[in-house]
Amino acid sequence: MILADSFVMSEKARNNEFTTSKGDRPLIVQFAANNINDFTRAAEMVSPYSDGVDLNCGCPQRWAMKDGYGADLLSKPELIRDLVLSVRNRIPHPFSVSVKVRLFPDVRKSIDLCQSLESAGATFITVHARTPQQKHQPINVEALKEVTSRVRLPIIGNGDVRSLQAAQDLHDKTGCRGVMAARGLLTNPALFSGAVVTPVECVQQWLCLTSVTETHFNTLHHHLVFMLEKVLPKTLRLEFNSLKTREQVLDFLAEHLGVESSAQSGEGGIIQCDYTAEGSYFTEAVK
């Protein structure tokens, strides 16, 4: 989730928050936005380098809701509709405009919102099957099923997807057209292949990718902390979590997992995004 206002206003934010490569497709960029101008301009800026944008209306964190982002937008359904409509009117198909939401306590309000977004031109809607106030309670499968059955747009189910079987079960029980996983994929990027824990080959591939793209150490290490959560015993996890340099990480992985770092020849390196290129939607908008 990228803050649209910072992305639009700050070159530093753009460089820090969005990086892609030629092989990184299909790609949808998720923004947090609380006004039409920021969301539309951010969408225009990434449109040459992505296949769509997603509006986050599901984040329940206090900082986000305090600033009018994430799940706070659920209290302003007309604004959500206008945000989608603005991007849809500015950038034509096949560019995707999607929304991620959480459930209302009254499922009828969830259905009304999704139907409104459907009429505004949304491509699909992801529904996290909890309300913003719910934390670790079981997801509301019946509510998700009802929303899915009442909305013509593809509904993507989200919540508690920590294995391939859980994804299949959510699809079977609700009829959702797709499944989204967050924490589950952080912990195991190979989840949808059926792997129970992160395979060593996945760790190897991550090292190769970060070598080619010169990924910042904090990002490299942060993802490995998640990926190794179920791979390493507690004592080794604590040791790994305390590492401070790429060299320390590489030595640790070589010693304990037999993983060696080597660059790979992918489908191209980092794309240098020119947000003011002649003919881009963003350039035309600010002339």
Encode pLDDT of 70-105 as tens digits.
Answer: 999 999 999 999 999 999 999 999 999 999 999 999
**pTM for the full model?**
0.90
59 belongs to the catalytic site: yes
Active-site option among 57, 59, 114, 176 = 59
Q: Which of 107, 105, 106 is nearest to 148 (CA)?
A: 107
Q: What is the pLDDT at residue 276?
A: 73
CB distance 271 to 22 below 8 Å: yes
DSSP secondary structure of 51-75: SEEEEEE----HHHHHTT-GGGGGG
Q: What is the pLDDT at residue 286?
A: 40
> 3-state DSSP call for residue 156?
strand
> pLDDT-based confidence at 270, cuts 50/70/90?
confident
The average pLDDT across 193-210 equals 94
Backbone angles phi, psi at 31, to 5 degrees: -115, 150
Asked if the model's pLDDT at residue 28 lies above 60, the reply is: yes
Asked if the model's pLDDT at residue 215 lies above 90, the reply is: no
CB distance 202 to 179 below 8 Å: no
The domains found in the chain, sorted by start residue, are 2-181 (3.20.20.70), 190-287 (no CATH)
CA distance 167 to 164: 5
> What are 45-59's pLDDT values in tens digits?
999 999 999 999 999
Residues annotated within a binding site for FMN: 30, 128, 182-183
Asked if the model's pLDDT at residue 159 lies above 60, the reply is: yes
